[in-house]
Amino acid sequence: MPLLVVGSIGIDTIEAPTGIATDVLGGAATYFSYAASFFTSVRLVAVVGGDFPAEHRRLMESRKIDTSGLEVRPGGKTFRWRGRYSQDMNERETMEVHLNVLADFNPRLPDEHRNCPFLFLANGAPSTQLAVLEQMRSPRLAVADTMDLWIKTQHDELSRLLRRIDGLVINDQEAKMLAGTDNLVRAGRTIQAMGPRFVVLKKGEHGAMFFSRDETYVMPAYPTPDVIDPTGAGDSFGGGYMGFIASNGDSSPTSLKRAMAYGTVTASFTVEDFSLNRLARIGRDDIDRRFAEYRRMTAF
């Protein structure tokens, strides 16, 4: 079943101990949609400027991502971000951010997108995420991501969003901030009690945790020795997660759990090169092979 994602596309410059990548394709919705495209048909709603390279759009379309909802502002500039990773790559600092066309991104969904059964609201202003939700005709599963900025600046809007979505995907540090506790299990449960049916808490190289009213579980990250660039890992996780769920149209507890393993495996490819370079070299069979290996690894 089709999966709609609304979020950012950007041009990134990444400084990591493993090298520097200048002006490469990035953005939450980019990683998400590319990762999800291995599982299901993806519709992307985002905004770019006239400077957005045609090759980037072609890369997305090569994965059959529907870019009919991609707004291009000829006079505007694409969102840009420059970040620097710490030596162990577990922390990163934003060195520069230019919102450009993202500053007044006001997504209008094409009519056929409003019926999409699966929706992912990639990280963005909760007010914008709510405005997207308003345009949807009762999706079967709506999941959102958020970040520290919105916890601080749009707390009320975020609270409203949490009561309207089925699932929240959130980083560990941001979960601690939102829940006001340093214990991740308590944080996950506290956020789940704020509204969503489930919370997926992303821990980067340490894996992910799941919280619903009835279930708590945790999965480790796939142990790759080749971490080149962690950028987009969380969004690729989200893409694999939602992509798998949408692919079989099943948001049962069993499906959500398997989806977490698929998200984990998909993200493990993303970090093995800069930008989408690694994902661009793999196919669904590579994901399935690593999924099988990951399952063997974690069974005891």
As measured in angstroms, the least distance from the Cβ of 169 to a second copy is 17
Residue 267 within binding range of a second copy, rule CB under 8 A: no
Closest to a second copy by CB, 40 vs 264, is: 264
CA dihedral 179, 180, 183, 184 (to 10 degrees): 30
Give the list of residues 6+ apart from residue 156 with CB closer than 8 angstroms, or none. Answer: none
Question: Which one of 76-84, 136-144, 243-251, 290-298 is the stretch in contact with a second copy (CB under 8 A)?
Answer: 290-298
Residue 19 within binding range of a second copy, rule CB under 8 A: no
Residue 167 within binding range of a second copy, rule CB under 8 A: no
Per CB under 8 A, contacts with a second copy among 48-87 are: 87
Residue 278 within binding range of a second copy, rule CB under 8 A: no
Residue 252 within binding range of a second copy, rule CB under 8 A: no
Closest to a second copy by CB, 116 vs 187, is: 187
Closest to a second copy by CB, 108 vs 257, is: 257
Residue 214 within binding range of a second copy, rule CB under 8 A: no
Exactly one of 13, 41, 224, 277 binds a second copy (CB under 8 A); that residue is 224
Residue among 223, 214, 229, 225 nearest 264 (CA) = 223
Closest to a second copy by CB, 22 vs 216, is: 216
Residue 223 within binding range of a second copy, rule CB under 8 A: yes
Per CB under 8 A, contacts with a second copy among 177-206 are: 182-186, 189, 203, 205-206
Looking at the DSSP assignment, which residues form a beta bridge with residue 13? 82
Question: Total binding residues for a second copy by CB under 8 A?
Answer: 35
Exactly one of 58, 152, 155, 295 binds a second copy (CB under 8 A); that residue is 295
Give the list of residues 6+ apart from residue 23 with CB closer than 8 angstroms, or none. Answer: 11, 12, 13
Exactly one of 11, 121, 261, 265 binds a second copy (CB under 8 A); that residue is 261
Contacting residues toward a second copy, per CB under 8 A: 17, 87-89, 176, 182-186, 189, 203, 205-207, 209, 216-221, 223-225, 227, 257-258, 260-261, 295, 297-300
